[in-house]
Amino acid sequence: MIQAFGLTSTSRKDLPLAVDDVSFEARPGRVTALLGATGAGKTSALRLMLELQQGRGITQFRGRPLHRIAHPSREVGVLLGDVPGHPARTVRGHLRMLCAAAGVPVRRADEVLEAVGLVSLRDERLGTLSRGMDRRLGLACALLPNPHSLVLDEPAEGLSSGESRWLHGMLRAHAVRGGTVLFTTAEPKEAARVADRVVTLEQGRLAADQEAPEFARTRLRPRVAVRSPHAVRLAALLAKEARAAHRSVEVVREGGNRLSVYGGTCAEVGEIAFRHGILVHQLADETGDMGPGAGFLPGEETPGGRRRPGSPDSGVGAPETEAGGGAEAGEDAHGGRSRHGSSLEADSERLRHTGQEARSDSPEESVHSGSAPGKASASPALPSPLPPPISVRTAAGPLRPLRYEIRRATGIGTGFLTAAAVLVTSALTAVLLARVGHTPQARLLAAWPRELPLPPAALGAGLLGALAFGDEFRHPALAADRGTVPRRLGLLTAKLVVAAVTALLLALLAVGCDAEVLYLVYGRELTEVPGDWLVLSASWIGLVIGCAWAGVLAAGIFRSTTAGLAAVVSVPVLGVPLVQRVLEGASVRTAAGLPARLREVFLVQWPFGGGRYLAGAVRVIVQPVGGALTLSLTALLCAYLLTSLRGRVR
């Protein structure tokens, strides 16, 4: 069950509240529609319920607020807007990646593909899907963790009639299995046809909360749909017969040969057409749009100037429906069930304690119980306390971050194309350097001319690292309902590991390709292994991996691939001159004898020549590029940690 109490959006300057004290519930095993015209506050209400927007109120999913559920995606499946994801990713690859994020077996992707009818399109790219197929994929993403509740924002918008029927059938099937379904719509006919209960919003306030049959009877206009090649003549005859019988009948021409008759029946229209020999192609009862006065709250005046029945000033003791009949006990003025029962009082009392625990800004505020509109009180009305505040929560990280990151990185061809371009550029640069001459052997194998700040392999590794976060902020599939990517340390560790492995492979392949091309073009003399190859190899691998890590951290902090690549380039352009200036100072001492001093401090003899390796690592770090890269990585890591901690504090 979904219970929403006192949902209120944050006030905006000189504008009415998008959602103002809205309370309703969606029961399990039933489909609930949140109905309202554009701007009525439907999407804002859903975002408040899902803690995606700041405001006030309480929403509980099976008795727990969303921020107290360990794995929210397994409790609530959400579809807001289009399906986010990289356009070049396949349908099946996108779902397999989300399986790792939700911590469910990968076979679940094939199961939901079959359930939504996308098996034949599993290898299609997300960017090529039609509107209907995108809706199917969105429903598959929502159903992937097998949630109990579905919360969908206008899921049938833009779909054909056949696709809409299929979607409504899926929602009904989920409800039949015991799940809770809540969806928004702007079409009254769709709400009456699909939902078991209809909650109507008007200008951000709750206008009605009714069962679907009562909603269709009191807030929709029944009509007779007629199609005839003699529609004009039939319309005139219907109007004439109505005037003669002193009945109120409205006949509306809707284009072509179609008529809509309000206030009549199929039998009456058919008899008139038969008596006058008019051919009729269609004659059927339909449910039309909302009738006059249906959008007014109790106590407000209708366009005719009279007050709605059941208003405090109408002089009627018991509430009445629009048809004039007395409402049954336990129903409100809109035909909806009254919320005066003891169960609501118990829920309100329990939620009052929950709200007191959740509230953090003002100890003087108490929880608003969220009573439904139209609730009468025998005692004098007291000032209503504000409901507790809603804090926007960051999305949870993937439950299997390493598996998620591997599938994310290998699911599109950007990384492979970037690596191929780097290898080709590196080989061509090495050939040109060898032709010009006067290039040291180490720089020749790395294809690193002195005129460039970094070799192609290091720049490519930095770009791949920046794409690890930058593309996710452009296509946030991991946090589709929140529009951003969580800065979790588990996710960062997974990205750093995958980026390091990718950079290591790129560094080895670049040197290997350069050596092979130099051997083919110039012979063996340019491919000889340098004597200090161990230290040079460590420096080379450290440089490439460090650039990849700098790209990952900078893109995660600034949420941009461009910013990640700029941080990589700034290391040699800005960091190296600074380090060189510091190292040239007279007060700087070298790290000579560091292994011996470490042995003295820790009283440990380094086995297998460990002191030599440690000395080599120190020599790499104290180089200008190595020192600048170390400082940059340290600063970026600290900034990332501070950003992550600040997000958690909020």
* Measured distance CA(216)–CA(287) in Å, rounded: 7
375 contacts 340 by C-beta, under 8 angstroms: yes
Looking up residue 210, the CATH number of its domain turns out to be 3.40.50.300
- The answer to whether position 321 is within a domain reads no
In the numeric block, the tokens 């992937």 are attached to 144
- The answer to whether position 326 is within a domain reads no
Which three-class secondary structure state does DSSP give residue 144? Answer: coil
* Claim to verify: residue 241 and residue 113 sit in the same structural domain: no
Residue 370 has a CB neighbour count (10 Å cut-off) of 25
The residues near 368 (Cβ < 8 Å, ≥ 6 apart) are 5, 6, 21, 56, 57, 58, 355, 384, 385, 386, 387, 388
Name the residue with higher pLDDT: 294 or 7.
7
Percent of the chain with pLDDT over 70: 75
Looking up residue 261, the CATH number of its domain turns out to be 3.30.70
Can you give the residue range of the structural domain that contains 31?
Answer: 2-218
- The answer to whether position 119 is within a domain reads yes
Phi–psi pair at 282, nearest 5 degrees? -145, 140
Of the candidates 503, 515, 396, 391, the one whose C-alpha atom is nearest the C-alpha of residue 447 is 515
Question: Residue 507: its pLDDT value, please?
Answer: 93
371 contacts 5 by C-beta, under 8 angstroms: no
**Domain stops at, among 238, 261, 287:** 287
* Claim to verify: residue 209 and residue 266 sit in the same structural domain: no
Beta bridge partners of 181: 31, 150
The residues near 560 (Cβ < 8 Å, ≥ 6 apart) are 470, 473
* Claim to verify: residue 558 and residue 634 sit in the same structural domain: yes
**Domain stops at, among 171, 187, 218:** 218
Percent of the chain with pLDDT over 90: 44
Question: Residue 339: its pLDDT value, please?
Answer: 38
- The answer to whether position 408 is within a domain reads yes
Question: Residue 384: its pLDDT value, please?
Answer: 52
Residue 207 has a CB neighbour count (10 Å cut-off) of 22
435 contacts 441 by C-beta, under 8 angstroms: no
* Claim to verify: residue 516 and residue 544 sit in the same structural domain: yes
* Measured distance CA(19)–CA(38) in Å, rounded: 13
Query: Using one digit for the tens of pLDDT, what is the confidence trace for 322-371?
Result: 333 333 333 343 344 433 333 434 444 444 444 444 434 333 333 333 33
Give Cα separations from 7 to 19, 37, 295 (angstroms).
7, 18, 20
147 contacts 117 by C-beta, under 8 angstroms: no
The answer, yes or no, to whether residue 221 has pLDDT greater than 90, is no
Question: Residue 422: its pLDDT value, please?
Answer: 96
Query: Using one digit for the tens of pLDDT, what is the confidence trace for 397-439?
Result: 899 999 999 999 999 999 999 999 999 999 999 999 998 888 8
Phi–psi pair at 217, nearest 5 degrees? -75, -40
- The answer to whether position 331 is within a domain reads no
* Measured distance CA(98)–CA(396) in Å, rounded: 13
- Report the relative pairing of strands 31-35 and 180-185 from DSSP bridges: parallel
The answer, yes or no, to whether residue 105 has pLDDT greater than 70, is yes
The answer, yes or no, to whether residue 562 has pLDDT greater than 60, is yes
Mean pLDDT rounded to a whole number for the chain: 79
- Cα torsion 268, 269, 275, 280: sign: negative
* Claim to verify: residue 214 and residue 241 sit in the same structural domain: no
Question: Residue 575: its pLDDT value, please?
Answer: 64
The answer, yes or no, to whether residue 33 has pLDDT greater than 80, is yes
Question: Residue 581: its pLDDT value, please?
Answer: 65
**Domain stops at, among 254, 271, 287:** 287
Beta bridge partners of 90: 125
Q: Two tokens at 58?
A: 């309480």
* Claim to verify: residue 133 and residue 173 sit in the same structural domain: yes
Which three-class secondary structure state does DSSP give residue 26? Answer: strand
The DSSP result for 227-276, as a single string, is E-TTHHHHHHHHHHHHHHTT---EEEE-STTEEEEES--HHHHHHHHHHT
Of the candidates 412, 402, 424, the one whose C-alpha atom is nearest the C-alpha of residue 500 is 402
* Claim to verify: residue 76 and residue 198 sit in the same structural domain: yes
Average pLDDT over every residue of 455-472: 92
What is the C-alpha R_g of the chain? 34
* Claim to verify: residue 582 and residue 482 sit in the same structural domain: yes
Q: Two tokens at 190?
A: 């769709």
Query: Using one digit for the tens of pLDDT, what is the confidence trace for 141-197?
Result: 999 999 999 999 999 988 898 999 999 999 999 999 999 999 999 999 899 999 999
* Claim to verify: residue 113 and residue 167 sit in the same structural domain: yes
- The answer to whether position 46 is within a domain reads yes
- The answer to whether position 634 is within a domain reads yes
Question: Residue 172: its pLDDT value, please?
Answer: 96
The answer, yes or no, to whether residue 207 has pLDDT greater than 70, is yes
* Measured distance CA(192)–CA(259) in Å, rounded: 22
Poorest-confidence range of 106-120, 448-462, 529-543? 529-543
* Claim to verify: residue 563 and residue 600 sit in the same structural domain: yes
* Claim to verify: residue 426 and residue 554 sit in the same structural domain: yes
Query: Using one digit for the tens of pLDDT, what is the confidence trace for 231-253?
Result: 999 999 999 998 988 888 888 88
* Claim to verify: residue 52 and residue 188 sit in the same structural domain: yes
Of the candidates 631, 617, 618, 536, the one whose C-alpha atom is nearest the C-alpha of residue 577 is 631
* Measured distance CA(86)–CA(89) in Å, rounded: 5
Task: Name the domain count of the chain.
Answer: 3
Poorest-confidence range of 27-41, 189-203, 223-237, 284-298? 284-298
DSSP element (H, E) containing 201: strand 197-202
- The answer to whether position 366 is within a domain reads no
